[in-house]
Every structure is written in structure tokens, then in C-alpha cells.
Amino acid sequence: MTIADWFAGAQITGRMLRTLDRIGPGGVIIADLYERDYYVTHARTLDPAQQTSFIVFGYHDLVVNLAHYTAEYADRGWQKLVDAVDESTWDTMTERLEDLAGTGFVVTRMREHMQRYGFDLTAVPHYYHRYADPGIYQRPTTRMVVDRYVDRANPTVTVTVKMPLQEATGGLSLIKVTDQGRHVTGWPKALRNQFTASSHAHRVRAEVDAHLRRTHT
């Protein structure tokens, strides 16, 4: 039995996506390994350190993909999206579990501290290989993850954190802040170990608060 077969009886439904839409920013659909099923919840209810459930779709994913499917399929866009999310989630389940198992402490701690500072994950984490030489598609590569957050108190503000999956690589991370889709600020950082994650999350909070004072008062 493969890990995908573990979820053979589970299904992501239109009702789940409608619930996700009602929750809004910070809403996520998770796969629960114990229950072998999918559930809709808010990211702030999740413990980033546990590995028995993980995000497979988020509110941000819904907004972006629904616009695409509606433009392509018009009235059939909603059902086409539901079917695509359900199928792609099942098809990529093995890869998702491998990435979950390979996630280092530095990523987990960053997620914990971002949550503590009022930022909620609002999209499925995106994992990919970063090549040592851009444009030269051969090893060595670094496994990376992109996490997208929304400011809980100011949902027009989003933060993306791109970082190596394992701290031992010493690779640079990149943090970007946007407001209503417009760039606010960003900076590269070497998140070299889990103990530095708190200071970086604190800087994100400080930068966002400074932006809000300048523009929202």
C-alpha cells in the first residue's frame, strides 16, 4: 500500500472549498494521517511541529486557481476546480509526505514564531529544488520551501518566506512583504539554525507594523 492509497477513501469536495471560501485568509484544508481524511480549518489551530496532519490547499490557492478556472471554463469553472484539487492532492500525496518528513527544525521554528507573531499560513507550502547555478539544470540542488502567510489582524498584508528545507545547507532565505499585492519590503537572510528563527519572525512583525503605521493611520 502506498501513502496515496491511505487516502483512497477520502475526497476534497465542493462543500469543503465553499467552507474554505467562507473562512477566508488563513483558511486551509489539511490531510489527517490518523483519520485518513481531509478537513477544513484555520491555520492558527495547527501545531507546526506535529507531523500527523499537513496542509494540502489554502484560501490563497482557492482565490488564484478559481480565477484561472473561471476564466477558462466559465460556469463550469467551480466544478472543474473541485475535481482538479481532489485529483492533484491524491496524485502528489507521496511527494508531500516525503517533504514533510524532510522538513528541518529551522522551517518548523519559523512557522511557530510567525504564528506567535500573528501570521497565519494561507496556502499550501510549495516545495521545489533550487539549482546551484540558475539555468544549469543539474545537481547540486537545494530542496526549498515557500510558505505564504497572511497578517491575522490586517489580511491585506501577506508575507512569503522562501527558505532551505534543511538548515545545514547554509543557503540564503528570502522574506517578502506585500500589501494588496503591492511590494512593501523584502530582504535575504541566512536562517542557519532554528535558534535564529525568532529574531527573523520578530523583524517581519516590526516591518509590517511600521508599514501599517505609515499607510493605515
pLDDT digits (tens, 9 = 90+) for 36-47: 999 999 999 999
Q: How far apart are CA 117 and CA 189, in angstroms?
A: 18
Domain boundary pick from 101, 121, 149: 101
Domain boundary pick from 72, 101, 130: 101
Number of domains composing the chain: 2
Q: What's this model's pTM, rounded to 2 decimal places?
A: 0.92
Rounded average pLDDT over 156-179: 87
Residues 97 and 132 in one domain: no
Q: Is the pLDDT of residue 196 over 90?
A: no
Q: Is the pLDDT of residue 191 over 80?
A: no
Residues 97 and 178 in one domain: no
Q: Is the pLDDT of residue 132 over 70?
A: no
Using CB atoms within 10 Å of the CB of residue 21, give its burial: 0 to 12 exposed, 13 to 18 middle, 19+ buried: middle
pLDDT at 2: 64
Range of 23's domain? Answer: 3-101
Using CB atoms within 10 Å of the CB of residue 32, give its burial: 0 to 12 exposed, 13 to 18 middle, 19+ buried: middle
Residues 64 and 31 in one domain: yes
Residues 18 and 95 in one domain: yes
Domain boundary pick from 54, 86, 101: 101
Q: Which amino acid is at 107?
A: V
Residue 217: pLDDT band (50, 70, 90) is low
